[in-house]
Structure 1
Amino acid sequence: MTERMIPISTASSDPAFVLSRPQRTVSATAGGTVFRSAHEAITALRSGRISHIVGALPFTPGAPTALWAPESVTITDTPWQPGSHLEPQAVTPRPDSRTFPQFEFDAALPTPDEHRQRVATAVELLADPGHPLQKVVLARAIRARCANPVRAQDIFDLMVASDPMSNGFLVDLSAAGGRYPGRHLVGSSPEILVRRSGNRILSHPLAGSARRVLDDGDADRTAADTLLASAKDLAEHRFVTDQVAAVLRDRCAEVSTPAPELMATPAMWHLGTPITAAVPVAGPSALELAVALHPTPAVCGTPTGAAARVIADLEGERGFYAGAVGWCDADGNGEWMVSIRCAELAADGSTLLAHAGGGIVAASDPAAELAETTGKFQRILGPLGIADLPVTVG
């Protein structure tokens, strides 16, 4: 694929949307038609009135989306190169966490002790034979501040530069309205909700995780092997693959669900299953499949309705964390990543809120679940200079 652009000028050199993947980068400007619901965006794509949709879906279906038909879209066959959107004389070296403005830990929301208690409450529900819950994903947040305002683009560049696969995403959330104008979602997600390329479909859910031991190769391998043999994690993973495969079987053909395999990220080991399928040319688009699949048990739980109610009761509103970010074109092609390993940057550029969660099943241990989220936070907070997080009240 050669570079394709719909050339319309933009007021800023920074794109409003970028999704960097090993095989492709899609970047887009702001402007154009805004869609507050995925249904409106799907209808516009199907009508042929627009060529592309980009943006983000919130965790809660039915909440306002941050989707728009951009004035300009650029697609390349390579990962994002930090600084590539600038004029040649303005390009800066690849970002380095040692020289990046340092964020400082501000607060844990909730406190570590309260998160452990939330997990314990969920475990009690899971052990209750009269409650339908089989799995629920509980998350917590870390708020951090920086003395000097930081551009979302700079954080995105740092995420891409610090990821071995050059994964990263940036979404201007202004299209969602409400409290979101000027805010950005930035991160580096390893999880493919769905990709459509021609008639081929791929969903690569991740569920079941273990923190890596990067300074000890033998211990790191042991952590991976232990995860792959863990009955608790394999059962948690099966909830996800069963539901994803069921959704795809209703809409696609040739659905294949292989055995789970290990996937390594800079901070974590994960169990992942590459589920493939096929669709006819006029079949569901990448955006339609993303809406049908979201939220999977990997970020919500099983059954979906019961898990969502527990999350609402224990956590409250998640916003765009654990939603999806991506793009879709009028031919149905596109890719949507689960919005994890991410943070929301405030409009003033000085405060960010990062989230991390873990799947809770009846065999879950609250202390271990807290440790899992601490490990997942390092993907977004480590490059920003926050290496240590409190594990007690604070």
Structure 2
Amino acid sequence: MDGFLLATPDGVLRASGTRATFDSAAAASTALRSGAAELIVGALPFDPRGRTALTAPEQALHTAGPWRPAALPDLPGVRVVAEIPSAADHVARVTKLVEQLGDPAQPLRKVVAARALRVAAEAPLEPEVIAAHLVTRHPRAAVYAVDLTAAGRPGDTLLGATPETLVSRHGRAVTLRPLAGTLPRLADPAADAEQARDLLTSTKNRDEHAYVIDWIRERLTPVCTELSIPDAPELLSTPEVWHLATPIRGVLRDPATTALDLAVLLHPTPAVCGTPTDLALDAIAALEGDRGFYGGAVGWCDATGDGDWFVAIRCAELAADARTLRASAGGGIVSASDPVAELHETTAKLRTFLGGLHCVIPE
């Protein structure tokens, strides 16, 4: 895919062509402030030390309202060809993390442990078609397709349908809605309602959520003159899972602070990484290696500083061969986590993306 697509319920941004590419957020910010770029689009990797996929496009079109694809072509058949790691190994990995996190002598308090599925398609996959299927299946999500050429990966595309806003900045108004604490949806309506109530009252999930909110408060307080954070989270649902969510609003202290600045300030949150951040990043790198752009951020920022950035979850990376996908999902591990439940949580999250491709996920 050559370009950028971001479709939210409020609007669609399409960009194409390349005036310049930036392998770091700092370089992109400099281009915006100097006037060398009017708009930056793209993605930040999970590890902030990694190479970004940020571009100053030649053309961009922003339209109001949701994307309603004119056609929905059939997708080729896809199947899972590898689990990275296996389900049993993921449970074992989480079990060791729970033991480590239960040791009060060490400072690590939360780690987001992820697993991936490698998927093969019978024929080439078109990113635009995948995105159309995702937006039809998940109309309330932010659906994205990002060319990763700027990150040194020509032909690779990041695709997904995320429910989570990392940060939006319009004028001096700052909004975000972090998610942390999850349970799978259930087919029976009564059981599903009970599942939602259980999540809202779960000490383990409320603690996991609190780590995220406390961290965001610490990060935003120096840059905001006003910061409104509810005392308790609310429920947010997708077709696959229940989440704990907290809507946060702020007012910028310095109007020169851009949406990209805020995205860099906040990424990665404990919702996708853990806490303390540096220790969690090191633990994830040791366990999983390079996550690429899963758990990163996708969005845009213009020369006025306005922009929207979304957490790159419920996603997959499509290889340049257009036939191979790597879909990833994770869960926040704390000392009270149940390893088998954490495995089921990743499976439910993987269904957001792979369900749109009608791919059967191993239980």
TM range (shorter): over 0.9
Match of 1:216 among 171, 188, 197: 188
1:30 maps to what in 2? Answer: 17
Match of 2:263 among 281, 284, 290: 290
**What per-residue deviation string (whole Å, max 9, x for no partner) do you get for residues 61-84 of structure 1?**
12110001000111111122325x
Secondary structure of the equivalent of 1:195? strand
2-side partners of 1:308 and 1:164: how far apart? 32
Alignment map for 1:196-345 (pairs within 5 Å): 196-213=169-186, 215-258=187-230, 259-279=232-252, 282-345=255-318
Alignment map for 1:56-71 (pairs within 5 Å): 56-71=43-58
Structure 1 residues not aligned, in runs of 5+: 1-13, 84-92
Asked whether the equivalents of residues 260 and 272 of structure 1 are also in contact (C-alpha less than 8 Å), the reply is yes
Match of 1:104 among 62, 65, 79: 79
Match of 2:4 among 17, 28, 31: 17
Deviation at 1:246, TM superposition (A): 1.3
Query: Which structure shows the higher strand fraction?
Result: 2
2-side partners of 1:112 and 1:291: how far apart? 33
Secondary structure of the equivalent of 1:27? strand
2-side partners of 1:167 and 1:201: how far apart? 18
Alignment map for 1:99-178 (pairs within 5 Å): 99-165=74-140, 167-177=142-152
1:11 maps to what in 2? Answer: none
Structure 2 residues not aligned, in runs of 5+: none
Letter paired with 1:245? R
2-side partners of 1:357 and 1:171: how far apart? 21
Q: How many pairs were matched up? A: 362
**What per-residue deviation string (whole Å, max 9, x for no partner) do you get for residues 60-116 of structure 1?**
112110001000111111122325xxxxxxxxx235xxx421211111100011101
2-side partners of 1:283 and 1:52: how far apart? 16
Deviation at 1:345, TM superposition (A): 0.3
Q: Considering only aligned residues, what root-mean-square deviation do their CA atoms show, in Å? A: 1.2
2-side partners of 1:130 and 1:175: how far apart? 42
Name the TM-score, length of structure 1 as normaliser: 0.90
Secondary structure of the equivalent of 1:188? strand
2:338 maps to what in 1? Answer: 365
2:31 maps to what in 1? Answer: 44
Deviation at 1:149, TM superposition (A): 0.7
Asked whether the equivalents of residues 119 and 366 of structure 1 are also in contact (C-alpha less than 8 Å), the reply is yes
1-side partners of 2:66 and 2:54: how far apart? 22
Which runs of structure 1 show a deviation greater than 6 angstroms over 4 or more consecutive aligned residues? Answer: none
**What per-residue deviation string (whole Å, max 9, x for no partner) do you get for residues 155-180 of structure 1?**
11111111131530000001101xx1
1-side partners of 2:10 and 2:174: how far apart? 15
Letter paired with 1:17? F
Letter paired with 1:217? P
Asked whether the equivalents of residues 164 and 266 of structure 1 are also in contact (C-alpha less than 8 Å), the reply is no
**What per-residue deviation string (whole Å, max 9, x for no partner) do you get for residues 32-85 of structure 1?**
1000100000111111221100000001112110001000111111122325xx
Query: In structure 2, do the counterparts of structure 1 residues 63 and 388 end up closer, same or farther at CA, with 3 Å as the change threshold?
Result: closer
1-side partners of 2:300 and 2:2: how far apart? 14
Asked whether the equivalents of residues 165 and 309 of structure 2 are also in contact (C-alpha less than 8 Å), the reply is yes
* Bigger Cα displacement from structure 2, 118-127 vs 319-328: 118-127
Letter paired with 1:105? V
Secondary structure of the equivalent of 1:157? helix
**What per-residue deviation string (whole Å, max 9, x for no partner) do you get for residues 208-228 of structure 1?**
001001x32111111111100
2-side partners of 1:290 and 1:267: how far apart? 27
